[in-house]
Amino acid sequence: MKMLVCVKQVPDTTEIKIDPVKNTLIRDGVPSILNPFDGYALEAAARIKDADPSSTITVLSMGPEQAKAVLKESLAIAADKAYLVSGREFGGSDTLCTSYIISEAIKEIEKTEGKFDIIFCGKQAIDGDTAQVGPGIAEHLDYPQVTYGLEASVEDGLVKVKKETEDGVQVIGIQTPCVLTFTKPSFDPRYPTIKRKMAANRANIPVLAFADLVDLDPNKIGLKNSPTRVKKTFVPQKKTGGMKIAEETVEDSAKKLFTLLSDSHVI
């Protein structure tokens, strides 16, 4: 299988704090990480390669030069080759434009690497949380998709995906080429080895700029061609804490809680 994994560099949202005076996000000093869901997608691809070592894994990211860090991390974990799509022309693109740019980049990369059978994405990125770019790529390429993937395997040439649903799990067979997006599985993704880490640090990562995407329509990218606009952002109002129950004994507190809940008809 020829596999491509799309990865994004994101701020670690667990480390984001709110400036209590200005009521804005403090982004300074927040570490950048590989989007965890993309890590699960990479692991899913790596497992297919474990089963069939003739498979290849290429990783692709869109972002500034610094995003090479997550590509190197992906190379250290499991990928064979990496590409970065980068250019100020792409700035301000919403999910529709971003998925279009990535689909064009994939077509460009396929000119040298050959056609990919499976394109892997994380379910969503933890900064934007939209879950729209994976299906957007699939639509631009006119590929079938499975979202909320947990694991993927290839049996007799058929790609099978375990998908999380609201009431359990489905196993879905999907034609190739296809796009699969991944959520959190029950296992942990692998760690890179020292040897792979060293090789990844030395890796040369080709950059695809605006001019390299020769078939790209410039009227379909960037802020001005994005159908959605951010009207405003604000820090959500914190609900102020309610009543602390602190009776003399834990038993009394628990009983009081019961009385309060039943009196207000919550239970």
Partner 1 sequence: MVNKTNDFWVFVETNEDGSAKNVGIELLTPGRELADKQEGKLVAVVIGHNTEAAVEAASKHGADQVLVVDGPEYQSYSTDAYAIALTALVEKYAPRAMMIGATNNGRDLGPRVACRLETGLTADCTALAIDEETGKVAWTRPAFGGNLMATILCPECYPQIGTVRPGVFKKGEETEAKAEVIKEDIHVSEEKIRTKILEVIREMDEDKVDLENAEIIVSGGRGVGGPEGFEPVRELAKVLGATVGASRAAVDSGWISHAHQVGQTGKTVAPKLYIACGISGAIQHQAGMSGSDCIVAINKDPDAPIFDIADYGIVGDLFEVLPILTEEIKKSRA
**Structural contact between residues 44 and 180, judged by C-beta atoms closer than 8 angstroms:** yes
The rounded distance, in Å, linking the Cα atoms of 45 and 143 is 18
Give SS3 for 200. helix
Strand-pair category, 168-174 with 207-208: unpaired
Taking the complex as a whole, the smallest distance from the CB of residue 98 to partner 1 amounts, in Å, to 11
Taking the complex as a whole, the smallest distance from the CB of residue 243 to partner 1 amounts, in Å, to 5
Q: And the tokens for 168?
A: 């359990």
Quick one: 207 or 245, whose CB is closer to partner 1? 245
Q: Give the torsion sign (CA, 67, 68, 71, 77).
A: negative
Residue of 69, 172, 203, 205 that binds partner 1 (CB under 8 A):
172
Taking the complex as a whole, the smallest distance from the CB of residue 73 to partner 1 amounts, in Å, to 19
- Is residue 144 within the footprint of partner 1 (CB under 8 A)? yes
- Is residue 153 within the footprint of partner 1 (CB under 8 A)? no
Site for partner 1 in 109-138 (CB under 8 A): 126-136, 138
- Is residue 20 within the footprint of partner 1 (CB under 8 A)? no
**Structural contact between residues 135 and 145, judged by C-beta atoms closer than 8 angstroms:** yes
- Is residue 16 within the footprint of partner 1 (CB under 8 A)? yes
Taking the complex as a whole, the smallest distance from the CB of residue 186 to partner 1 amounts, in Å, to 7
- Is residue 21 within the footprint of partner 1 (CB under 8 A)? no
- Is residue 190 within the footprint of partner 1 (CB under 8 A)? no
Stretch that binds partner 1, among 58-66, 113-121, 202-210, 237-245 (CB under 8 A): 237-245
- Is residue 152 within the footprint of partner 1 (CB under 8 A)? no
Read off the DSSP letter of residue 28: T
- Is residue 223 within the footprint of partner 1 (CB under 8 A)? no
Site for partner 1 in 58-87 (CB under 8 A): none
- Is residue 186 within the footprint of partner 1 (CB under 8 A)? yes
Residues 6+ apart with CB under 8 A from 152: 44, 45, 47, 48, 118, 120, 159, 160, 161, 162, 180
Strand-pair category, 2-7 with 56-62: parallel
Quick one: 144 or 192, whose CB is closer to partner 1? 144
Quick one: 126 or 205, whose CB is closer to partner 1? 126
**Structural contact between residues 89 and 222, judged by C-beta atoms closer than 8 angstroms:** yes
Stretch that binds partner 1, among 50-58, 75-83, 88-96, 204-212 (CB under 8 A): 88-96
The rounded distance, in Å, linking the Cα atoms of 22 and 5 is 39
Taking the complex as a whole, the smallest distance from the CB of residue 81 to partner 1 amounts, in Å, to 27
Q: ∠ CA 1-157-46 to the nearest 5 degrees?
A: 35
The per-residue DSSP string of 131-162 comes to --HHHHHHHHHT--EEEEEEEEEEETTEEEEE
- Is residue 253 within the footprint of partner 1 (CB under 8 A)? yes
- Is residue 202 within the footprint of partner 1 (CB under 8 A)? no
- Is residue 195 within the footprint of partner 1 (CB under 8 A)? no
The rounded distance, in Å, linking the Cα atoms of 27 and 24 is 9
